[in-house]
């Protein structure tokens, strides 16, 4: 009977093209043999690009960045919480932070990516020779573990372990996770049929080594600036493997949400360095929830939520800001946040005003106003109408802009112009030619396909029209993100934002998720995935492994 074996830490590539590994001497009585696994010499790095708020941020340590007013250099500025306990604690901390403090902490000009985030490898990682120090060198600490840990670990194990030896029969067998990929019902991926992987294709897949990396970015800055960071990371990774005498010409990108916009901008500059992209739940055309959160504060419930999910939504609102004065202080001048607004390709109209009248003891809703009628960026630049996105009096509670409201208006318009350029010139309809995408279209995960302002007619005789509602004068804010206005100088009306109205993933509506349809290799319309936790779904991980194996088939 053969002596048992134990896995040793993964080998480290050396500049001369060799591999090195570390182990320790054991007593002669200890007959278990150590096992190193030699990776293939052809390398296809896989880089995970997170969504907004998925990258850890800290106060800048670089002298090229402006110093934070409230944080010491290197101090944590943003860490999305991991687990229920951390979530409850973070909700309490952020709820107590005034808008001015939020603005100062989350000032994009004073922040940089923080690579010290939590990494919680499962105990079984040792079976695959993994260590925290190894994956931290691949920047896994830059991203939120609860959202991306399952993806990073799953890809590291799945992509690099295709075949194994049966310990009884000593014959080659397909690893369990690849059997699961092949056996997965295509309906779980939102398609009727799919071309299954063959053993020959998996043999081809196994000829490559797939080191898995993360690339965080400052999500408050423009996605264009983040794309430059991603490009630098790609070039650095390729150079690393080439310097160690490995064949490495391309990378594969797996993106989440906003990360898809970053990756598209990067791919447009260096398409030859990218073998393929898999986009997950990307707001390809933007998302009306961005307008809703800036203008009204973060929603605390959804018609598709149960009691527990609504409690979670309340905690999220505490962190992000339930009131507009909290969200506007951070998002109104953040190019990154503004680039998530519905863009020039999003179906219009998506902003609506309704009145509700009592007729024969029944509520009757009347649709009165539909916006935007023309360029959506003109709507965003409008800071005077009652339905404005940004109230300049609430956008600078910390007094960052010394000239007051005139400077605030200028800064907001500059940020919106940046978003418009990014949408219309940088991205427009561009996708890398070897792109796949999946999105949520689940009636059980309702999202905002549009935003509806609803006001109850007081019955004083005023006839509400598109003209007089659009021209209503501002009176003030109301509860639940509402606004109070006066129509024709005599009728007071309180308007409140309605809830989510379309199938999606809880954040991105299906209309935006389906935006890539005519321009990608294949689009998967999935059920049962929520936006933030998309990569914690087994079906999603199986799909990504399937697509990676298909993408590499054309490599020499």
* Nearest one of 79, 82, 541 to 280, comparing CA atoms: 541
139-154: per-residue pLDDT in tens? 999 999 999 999 999 9
Report how far Cα 77 is from the mean position of its chain's Cα atoms.
18
Question: Which residue has 């021209």 as its token pair?
Answer: 471
On whether both 379 and 408 belong to a single domain, the answer is yes
On whether both 7 and 102 belong to a single domain, the answer is no
Q: Answer yes or no: is 194 within a domain.
A: no
Q: Answer yes or no: is 353 within a domain.
A: yes
* Nearest one of 440, 421, 462, 446 to 510, comparing CA atoms: 440
304-327: per-residue pLDDT in tens? 999 999 999 999 999 999 999 999
Q: Answer yes or no: is 13 within a domain.
A: yes
On whether both 17 and 93 belong to a single domain, the answer is no
pLDDT of residue 25: 60
**54 φ, ψ (degrees, to nearest 5):** -90, -5
Q: Answer yes or no: is 389 within a domain.
A: yes
DSSP code of residue 480: G
- Burial annotation 155-170 (CB, 10 A radius, 16+ → b, else e): bbbbbbbbeeeeeeee
On whether both 373 and 439 belong to a single domain, the answer is yes
Pick from 471, 487, 510: which residue ends a domain? 510
9-67: per-residue pLDDT in tens? 677 788 877 777 666 566 766 666 656 577 899 999 999 999 999 999 999 998 889 99
What is the rounded distance in angstroms from the CA atom of residue 264 to the CA atom of residue 524? Answer: 18
The answer on pLDDT for 2 being more than 80 is no
Mean pLDDT of 455-459: 94
On whether both 97 and 10 belong to a single domain, the answer is no
DSSP code of residue 509: B
pLDDT of residue 531: 97
Q: Answer yes or no: is 433 within a domain.
A: yes
218-249: per-residue pLDDT in tens? 999 999 999 999 999 999 999 999 999 999 99
Total domains in the chain come to 2
Show the CA angle centred on residue 487, arms to residues 486 and 491, nearest 5°.
75
CA Rg value for the chain:
26
45 or 2: which leads in pLDDT:
45
**215 φ, ψ (degrees, to nearest 5):** -140, 95
Pick from 492, 510, 528: which residue ends a domain? 510
On whether both 382 and 460 belong to a single domain, the answer is yes
Taking the CB of residue 271, how many other CB atoms lie within 10 A of it?
12
* Nearest one of 355, 86, 146, 114 to 218, comparing CA atoms: 114
On whether both 26 and 84 belong to a single domain, the answer is no
Three-state SS for 226?
Answer: helix
On whether both 25 and 106 belong to a single domain, the answer is no
Q: Is the dihedral of CA 423, 429, 430, 435 positive or negative?
A: positive
Mean pLDDT of 543-555: 97
pLDDT of residue 14: 82
On whether both 383 and 315 belong to a single domain, the answer is yes
Q: Answer yes or no: is 371 within a domain.
A: yes
91-131: per-residue pLDDT in tens? 999 999 999 999 999 999 999 999 999 999 999 988 888 99
pLDDT of residue 1: 39
Taking the CB of residue 326, how many other CB atoms lie within 10 A of it?
26
pLDDT of residue 34: 59
On whether both 356 and 391 belong to a single domain, the answer is yes
Cβ distance 104 to 330 under 8 Å? no
Q: Which stretch of 23-27, 73-77, 328-332, 396-400 has the lowest confidence by average pLDDT?
A: 23-27
The pLDDT-based confidence of 5 (bands split at 50, 70, 90) is low
pLDDT of residue 504: 98
On whether both 397 and 495 belong to a single domain, the answer is yes
pTM of the model: 0.95
370 forms beta bridges with 352
Order of strands, edge to edge, in the sheet holding 251-256? 212-214, 46-49, 251-256, 274-280, 435-440, 522-526
DSSP code of residue 2: P
Three-state SS for 350?
Answer: coil
What is the rounded distance in angstroms from the CA atom of residue 481 to the CA atom of residue 296? Answer: 4
On whether both 2 and 108 belong to a single domain, the answer is no
Taking the CB of residue 219, how many other CB atoms lie within 10 A of it?
29
Full residue range of the structural domain in which residue 492 is found:
58-113+286-510
């Amino acid at each position: 009977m053969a002596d048992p074996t134990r896995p040793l830490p993964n080998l480290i590539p050396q500049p001369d093209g060799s591999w090195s590994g570390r182990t320790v001497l054991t007593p002669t009585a200890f007959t278990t043999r150590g096992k190193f696994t030699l990776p293939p010499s052809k390398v296809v790095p896989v880089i995970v690009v997170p969504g907004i708020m998925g990258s850890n941020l800290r106060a800048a340590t670089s002298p090229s960045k402006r110093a934070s007013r409230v944080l010491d250099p290197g101090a944590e500025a943003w860490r999305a919480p991991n687990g229920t306990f951390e979530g409850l604690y973070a909700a309490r901390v952020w709820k107590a932070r005034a808008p001015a403090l939020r603005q100062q902490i989350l000032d994009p000009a004073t922040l940089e990516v923080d690579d010290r985030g939590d990494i919680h490898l499962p105990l079984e990682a040792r079976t695959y020779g993994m260590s925290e120090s190894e994956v931290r060198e691949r920047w896994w600490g830059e991203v939120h573990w609860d959202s991306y840990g399952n993806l990073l670990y799953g890809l590291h194990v799945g992509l690099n372990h295709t075949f194994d030896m049966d310990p009884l029969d000593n014959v080659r067998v397909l690893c369990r996770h690849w059997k699961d990929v092949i056996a997965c019902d295509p309906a779980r991926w939102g398609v009727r049929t799919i071309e299954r992987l063959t053993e020959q294709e998996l043999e081809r897949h196994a000829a490559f080594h797939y080191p898995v990396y993360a690339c965080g970015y400052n999500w408050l800055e423009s996605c264009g600036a983040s794309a430059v960071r991603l490009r630098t990371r790609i070039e650095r990774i390729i150079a690393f493997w080439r310097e160690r005498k490995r064949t490495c010409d391309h990378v594969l990108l797996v993106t989440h949400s906003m990360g898809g916009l970053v990756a598209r901008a990067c791919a447009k500059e260096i398409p030859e360095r990218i073998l393929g992209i898999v986009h997950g739940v990307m707001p390809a055309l933007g998302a009306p929830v961005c307008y809703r959160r800036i203008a009204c504060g973060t929603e605390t419930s959804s018609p598709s939520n149960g009691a527990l999910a609504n409690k979670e939504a309340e905690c999220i609102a505490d962190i992000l800001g339930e009131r507009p004065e909290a969200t506007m202080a951070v998002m109104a001048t953040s190019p990154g946040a503004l680039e998530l607004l519905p863009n020039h390709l999003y179906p219009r109209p998506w902003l609506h005003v309704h009145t509700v009248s009592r007729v024969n003891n029944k509520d009757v809703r009347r649709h009165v106003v539909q916006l935007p009628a023309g360029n959506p960026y003109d709507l965003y630049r409008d800071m005077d109408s009652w339905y404005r996105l940004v109230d300049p009096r609430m956008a600078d509670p910390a007094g960052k802009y010394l000239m007051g409201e005139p400077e605030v208006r200028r800064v907001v318009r500059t940020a919106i112009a940046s978003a418009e350029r990014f949408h219309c010139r940088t991205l427009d309809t561009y996708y890398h030619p070897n792109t796949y995408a999946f999105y949520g279209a689940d009636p059980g995960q309702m999202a905002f396909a549009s935003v509806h302002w609803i006001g109850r007619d007081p019955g004083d005789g005023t006839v509400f029209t598109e003209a007089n509602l659009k021209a209503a004068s501002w009176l003030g804010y109301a509860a639940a993100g509402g606004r109070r206005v006066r129509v024709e100088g005599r009728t007071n009306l309180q308007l409140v934002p309605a809830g989510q109205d379309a199938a999606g993933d809880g954040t991105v509506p299906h209309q935006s998720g389906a935006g890539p349809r005519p321009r990608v290799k294949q689009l998967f319309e999935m059920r049962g995935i929520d936006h933030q936790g998309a990569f914690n779904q087994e079906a999603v991980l199986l799909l990504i492994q399937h697509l990676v194996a298909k993408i590499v088939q054309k490599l020499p």
